[in-house]
């Protein structure tokens, strides 16, 4: 929640030459040490520099900070200081630089616009009264949730400006003159968040988000990952169930591999061989012994996606493997010891699946030592913006570009309810990126056509010129949608076998379709 922070005034009598706060840093001269003392005089922070503690004088503001037009990439956290008071800006820049920041200065609204829109400013100090406008005008053009921290700094506080600042995300309201301790805390907080989104995502198993739902999820993962408990993940399609499963594996410290298996993508009569392995000659084409996914995941994690698509007869054998910790290959008699943690997932309601017979109740209880329900993207606040920026960052790295979202794009992203969740968002960002003519990309309102949630799922439309393959694909997908993804009922309705459904979906995936 945004907080309203009013820094206490720090005053000294005019002409004072001491300050209760000092800062040490190494000078350019290799043998000299400088003591820089900040003191407040007339509402402005000045700098008093003492070299070798022998002489002192008030320096004129230097321009050591990087100019906006000469911005370069730096691994250190960045602070942009927008203030028409050159003395204040220079002193604040020196203060931040001594704490490991790379400072940038702008003294007008026009100077600051191009720089502040980039998603690389970890802290923004913004004066409200600027020569060419109000500081709030800059905030209106910015992608606020992407910036690490923003602080309004004003020497003329008012109830109106304070109330407007509080209504915005990630905005603090500070009153000049600044207290050094408070300014230091502000920098420390920004530095803690200064790593780029990609690095922060990698540190959390690739998961991005700061909504309460995601914080609870990440906290839960950190607690349960080191255990040996099986986990059942449920959630809508596209919510990132495999990503969560990978995070559980990474946080667990298990030395073996993470082996993902989509139970719905393998023909039912071949699934047993894929999971448990087979001996040579156990069936036609079995020319050699094959170690199944369980053995491949020894000392690691086996992720069983779409667990409700596994035939009930095979679920019985899976339950036995989980209970005994051993696996017997198809056509064999030897029980092989395994050390595998199983994480399963489904995009259907587990209880409903039990009632319909697609998930055995005893297997459910064995899989769900711990149950995790992933929130849909539409319930995660502004996480969609963070994820979109992360996708854009990945694309920029991949293609060596510096594209950015155009102004107003974030409002479009927040208005959409994302029925396809993160998968749909990724497709929308990628399509906008690849079709953009310049450095600014726009996800236009028409992108809703990517998720045909408003189409009538009970009717299929054919047009002259469509191929038989296209008609067959349309019929298959509409039938599956009508039966909520139930392949058995879809096969019965279409008059084909479940294996035919599996094979058709496999061909669609191989050709690049997201099904």
Residue identified by tokens 């539409």 is 378
35-84 pLDDT tens trace: 233 333 333 232 323 223 222 222 323 334 443 333 333 357 888 888 88
Residue 462: the pLDDT is 57
330-375 pLDDT tens trace: 888 889 999 999 999 999 999 999 999 999 999 999 999 999 999 9
H or E segment to which residue 198 belongs: helix 197-203
Residue 320: the pLDDT is 95
pLDDT band at 193 (very low <50, low <70, confident <90, very high): low
Nearest to 92 by CA among 142, 36, 164: 36
Pairing mode, if any, of strands 440-441 and 404-405?
A: parallel
Residue 357: the pLDDT is 92
H or E segment to which residue 39 belongs: strand 33-41
Q: Which tokens sit at 108?
A: 């007008």
Residue 283: the pLDDT is 77
Q: Which pTM was predicted?
A: 0.53
Residue 464: the pLDDT is 54
User: Is the CB of residue 200 less than 8 Å from the CB of residue 208?
Assistant: yes
Residue 471 φ then ψ, to 5°: -65, -45
Q: 338-364: string of b/e by CB count within 10 Å (b at 16+)?
A: bebbbbbbbbbebeebbeeebbbeebb
Q: Is the dihedral of CA 47, 53, 56, 61 positive or negative?
A: negative
pLDDT band at 509 (very low <50, low <70, confident <90, very high): confident
Q: Is 173 left (phi over 0), alpha (psi -120 to 50) or beta?
A: beta
In three-state secondary structure terms, 502 is: helix
In three-state secondary structure terms, 273 is: helix
Radius of gyration of the chain, Cα coordinates, nearest whole angstrom: 30
Mean pLDDT, residues 256-283: 89
Q: Which tokens sit at 348?
A: 């259907």
Residue 347: the pLDDT is 93
H or E segment to which residue 109 belongs: helix 109-116
Residue 377: the pLDDT is 94
Asked if residue 478 has pLDDT above 50, the reply is yes
High-pLDDT (> 90) share of the chain, %: 27
Residues 6+ apart with CB under 8 A from 2: 165, 166, 167, 168, 169, 170, 171, 172
Torsion of the alpha carbons at 149, 97, 194 and 5, rounded to the nearest 10: -20
209-230 pLDDT tens trace: 888 898 889 888 888 999 999 9
Nearest to 238 by CA among 427, 412, 405, 413: 427
> How far is the C-alpha of 472 from the C-alpha of 505, rounded, in Å?
11
> How far is the C-alpha of 491 from the C-alpha of 128, rounded, in Å?
65
Residue 370: the pLDDT is 93
Residue 425: the pLDDT is 92
Residue identified by tokens 């300014």 is 183
Residue 465: the pLDDT is 55
Residues 6+ apart with CB under 8 A from 444: 412, 432
Mean pLDDT, residues 445-450: 42
Nearest to 129 by CA among 176, 61, 62: 176
pLDDT band at 141 (very low <50, low <70, confident <90, very high): low
| Structure letter (DSSP) for residue 178 | P
Instruction: Give the range among 2-6, 281-285, 367-371, 493-497 with minimum mean pLDDT.
Output: 2-6
More confident residue, 463 or 73: 463
All domains in the chain, ordered by first residue: 22-192 (3.40.50.2300), 212-373 (3.40.50.300), 378-445 (1.10.8.60), 468-510 (1.10.10)
pLDDT band at 483 (very low <50, low <70, confident <90, very high): confident
Asked if residue 192 has pLDDT above 80, the reply is no
Average confidence score pLDDT of the chain: 75
> How far is the C-alpha of 80 from the C-alpha of 180, rounded, in Å?
18
Residue identified by tokens 């309810």 is 417
Residue 184: the pLDDT is 85
Mean pLDDT, residues 256-280: 90
């Amino acid at each position: 929640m945004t907080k309203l922070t009013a820094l206490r005034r720090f005053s000294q009598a005019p002409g004072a030459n001491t300050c209760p706060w000092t800062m040490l840093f190494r000078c350019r001269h290799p043998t000299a040490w400088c003591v820089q003392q900040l003191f407040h005089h007339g509402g402005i922070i000045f700098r008093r520099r003492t070299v070798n503690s022998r002489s002192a004088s008030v320096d004129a503001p230097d321009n050591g900070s990087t100019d906006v037009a000469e911005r370069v990439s730096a691994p250190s956290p960045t602070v942009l200081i927008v203030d028409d008071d050159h003395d204040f800006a220079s002193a604040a820049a020196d203060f931040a630089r001594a704490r490991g920041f790379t400072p940038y200065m702008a003294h007008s609204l026009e100077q600051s616009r191009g720089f502040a829109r980039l998603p690389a400013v970890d802290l923004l100090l913004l004066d409200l009264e600027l020569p060419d406008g109000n500081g709030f005008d800059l905030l209106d053009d910015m992608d606020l949730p992407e910036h690490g921290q923003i602080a309004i700094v004003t020497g003329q506080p008012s109830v109106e400006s304070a109330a407007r600042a509080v209504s915005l995300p990630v905005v603090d309201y500070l009153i000049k003159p600044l207290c050094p301790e408070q300014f230091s805390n502000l920098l420390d907080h920004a530095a803690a968040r200064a790593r780029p989104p990609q690095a922060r995502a990698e540190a959390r198993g690739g998961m991005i988000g700061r909504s309460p739902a995601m914080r609870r999820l990440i906290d839960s993962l950190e607690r349960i990952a080191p255990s040996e408990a099986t986990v059942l993940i449920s959630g809508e399609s596209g919510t990132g169930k495999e990503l969560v499963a990978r995070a559980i594996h990474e946080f667990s410290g298990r030395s073996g591999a993470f082996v993902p298996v989509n139970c719905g993508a393998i023909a039912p009569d071949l699934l047993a061989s894929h999971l448990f392995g087979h001996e040579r000659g156990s069936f036609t084409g079995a020319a050699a012994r094959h170690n199944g996914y369980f053995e491949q995941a020894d000392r690691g994690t086996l992720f069983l996606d779409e667990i409700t698509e596994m035939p009930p007869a095979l679920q019985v054998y899976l339950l036995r493997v989980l209970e005994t910790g051993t696996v017997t290959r198809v056509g064999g008699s030897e029980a092989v010891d395994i050390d595998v943690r199983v994480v399963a997932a489904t995009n259907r309601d587990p209880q409903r699946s039990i009632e319909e017979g697609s998930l055995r109740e005893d297997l459910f209880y064995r899989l769900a030592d711990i149950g995790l329900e992933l929130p849909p993207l539409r319930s995660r606040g502004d996480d969609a913006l963070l994820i979109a920026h992360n996708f854009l960052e990945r694309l920029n790295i991949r293609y060596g570009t510096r594209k950015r979202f155009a102004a107003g794009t974030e409002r479009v992203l927040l208005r959409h309810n994302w029925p396809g969740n993160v998968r749909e968002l990724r497709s929308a960002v990628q399509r906008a990126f690849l079709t953009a003519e310049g450095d600014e990309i726009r996800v236009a309102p028409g992108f809703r056509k990517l998720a045909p949630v408003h189409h009538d799922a009970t009717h299929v439309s054919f047009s002259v010129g469509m191929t038989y393959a296209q008609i067959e694909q349309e019929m298959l997908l509409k039938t599956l949608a009508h039966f909520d993804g139930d392949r058995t009922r879809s096969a019965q309705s279409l008059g084909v076998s479940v294996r035919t459904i599996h094979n058709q979906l496999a061909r669609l995936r191989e050709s690049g379709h997201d099904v």
